[in-house]
Amino acid sequence: MKGYITTKEMSERVGLTLQRLHQLIKMGEIKGEKVGRDWLIEERYVEIILNRPEKRGNYDRKKAA
C-alpha cells in the first residue's frame, strides 16, 4: 500500500520498540491498519512521532540534545 509502512520499518525509523508502537495504536495516538498478521501505519506518522515531546518525568529530549 502506497504511503504506508510496517511497524517494523516505523520502529527502525523512529527508535521505538514494536511493543510501544502497538501501544500507541491501541491508545489511538497513531492510526494503524491490520493487514494479515502485520500492522501498517501511515508514513506521515514518522514525522509526528519524531517531533512529539518526550513524556518521561522531567526529561525533555530536545533540551538534552
The pLDDT tens digits of the residues spanning 12-63 come to 999 999 999 999 999 998 999 999 999 999 999 998 888 887 665 444 555 5
pLDDT value for 56 = 54
- Euclidean distance between CA atoms 9 and 65, whole angstroms: 24
Residue 64 has pLDDT above 50, yes or no: no
* Domain residue limits, the chain: 4-55
CATH of domain 4-55: 1.10.10
